[in-house]
């Protein structure tokens, strides 16, 4: 009995010392703009699951969800807006008021749609010069290791997706923190961020944190452990910049 009792005491003490898992939704509220059932499929369901695993409460909106974005929840009710590459850029182009609101809102934004970088004033306007897509973005050159977006990964050459996975890139404005680039082409950044108040393209001051990570529709399921760390850090860094929702121009 004495040994059994001692074993129970040890188990109880170990349980008390173990950290409790964070409750769902405790990390913040995310509005996830995506497109259901895009041609070729997407990893958006896996992205949503990962965000929830990290403790975020995720609300999904189907693109603009109606004329003028009327069916899209108010971004001011969230801590972060995440925009998938499955959201069609031509849809936003047709709804200028919506893209202007997302561009100017005081809510942090993370996107991996390179075709919207110019609309969001995160890059210039010229496709294949200011933004574009690599046929395979398997490798990266990490240039800003001390920055939180770098997820503690050392500077230099690495891989963040499986081979033959396409990647988006952008050439950001002078105020951007460029974290990683395509090896040999430093003007093509596959991960960069703007701090609130930093100068974006068009001399636009970032009203809140903005992050681009160069995934494509199915990249998330093809990421290495390094890629997952970079994604998690992009979300966490952007969300930590949540302040007032008011647009700042």
pLDDT at 43: 96
The residues facing 61 across adjacent strands are 33
Can you tell me whether residue 173 is helix, strand or coil? coil
pLDDT at 197: 96
Which of these ranges, 23-27, 75-79, 239-243, has the smallest mean pLDDT?
A: 23-27
Rounded to a whole number of angstroms, the CA Rg of the chain reads 20
pLDDT at 90: 60
Q: Report the C-alpha gap between 72 and 169 in whole angstroms.
A: 27
How does pLDDT run across 84-103, given as a tens digit for each residue? Answer: 999 876 655 556 678 888 99
Q: Report the C-alpha gap between 48 and 30 in whole angstroms.
A: 10
Band of residue 19 on the pLDDT scale cut at 50, 70, 90 = very low
Kindly report the CA angle at 124 between 184 and 161, in degrees rounded to 5?
Answer: 40
Average pLDDT over residues 173-193: 97
- Closest C-alpha to 78, from 27, 43, 137, 8: 27
> What is the number of residues in the chain?
249
Band of residue 16 on the pLDDT scale cut at 50, 70, 90 = very low
Instruction: Locate the domains of the chain by residue range.
Output: 29-239
Q: Is the pLDDT of residue 12 over 80?
A: no
CB 122 within 8 A of CB 173: yes
Please state which of the four CATH numbers 2.60.120.260, 3.40.50.800, 3.40.50.1970, 3.40.50.880 is assigned to the domain occupying 29-239: 3.40.50.880
Average pLDDT over residues 148-175: 96
Q: At how many degrees (to 10) do helices 225-239 and 44-53 cross? A: 70
Which of these ranges, 89-103, 117-131, 143-157, has the smallest mean pLDDT?
A: 89-103
pLDDT at 65: 54
Average pLDDT over residues 184-203: 96
Q: Is the pLDDT of residue 11 over 70?
A: no
CB 206 within 8 A of CB 234: no
Q: Report the C-alpha gap between 137 and 150 in whole angstroms.
A: 17
**Residue 37 backbone class (left: φ over 0; alpha: ψ -120 to 50; beta: rest):** left
Average pLDDT over residues 131-143: 95
Band of residue 72 on the pLDDT scale cut at 50, 70, 90 = confident
Q: Report the C-alpha gap between 41 and 228 in whole angstroms.
A: 20
- Side-chain half-sphere exposure of 5, counting CA atoms within 13 A: 2
Contacts 24+ apart (CB under 8 A), 43-48: 43/217, 43/218, 43/219, 43/220, 43/221, 44/84, 44/86, 44/217, 46/220, 46/221, 47/82, 47/84, 47/220
Instruction: Quote the mean pLDDT of the chain.
Output: 86
Q: Is the pLDDT of residue 17 over 50?
A: no
Average pLDDT over residues 55-75: 77
Q: What's the N-to-C CA distance of the chain in angstroms? A: 72
**Residue 215 backbone class (left: φ over 0; alpha: ψ -120 to 50; beta: rest):** beta
Residues 6+ apart with CB under 8 A from 111: 82, 83, 84, 85, 117, 120, 211, 212
Average pLDDT over residues 15-40: 69
């Amino acid at each position: 009995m004495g040994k059994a009792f001692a074993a129970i005491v040890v188990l109880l003490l170990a349980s008390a010392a173990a950290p409790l898992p964070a409750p769902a939704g405790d990390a913040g509220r995310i509005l996830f703009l995506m497109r259901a059932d895009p041609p070729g499929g997407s990893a958006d369901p896996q992205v949503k699951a990962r965000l929830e695993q990290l403790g975020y409460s995720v609300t999904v909106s189907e693109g603009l969800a109606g004329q003028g974005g009327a069916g899209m929840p108010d971004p001011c009710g969230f801590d972060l807006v995440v925009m998938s590459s499955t959201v069609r850029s031509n849809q936003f182009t047709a709804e200028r008021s919506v893209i202007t609101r997302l561009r100017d809102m005081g809510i942090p934004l993370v996107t991996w749609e390179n075709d919207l970088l110019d609309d969001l004033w995160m890059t210039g306007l010229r496709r294949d010069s200011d933004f574009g897509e690599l046929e395979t973005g398997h490798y990266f050159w990490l240039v800003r290791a001390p920055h939180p977006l770098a997820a503690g990964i050392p500077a230099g050459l690495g891989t963040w997706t499986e081979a033959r996975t396409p990647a988006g890139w952008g050439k950001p404005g002078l105020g951007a923190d460029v974290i990683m680039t395509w090896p040999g082409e430093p003007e093509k950044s596959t991960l960069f961020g703007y701090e609130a108040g930093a100068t974006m393209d068009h001399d636009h001051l970032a009203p809140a944190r903005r992050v681009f990570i160069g995934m494509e529709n199915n990249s998330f399921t093809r990421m290495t452990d390094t890629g997952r760390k970079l994604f998690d850090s992009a979300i966490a860094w952007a969300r930590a910049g949540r302040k007032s929702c008011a647009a700042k121009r």
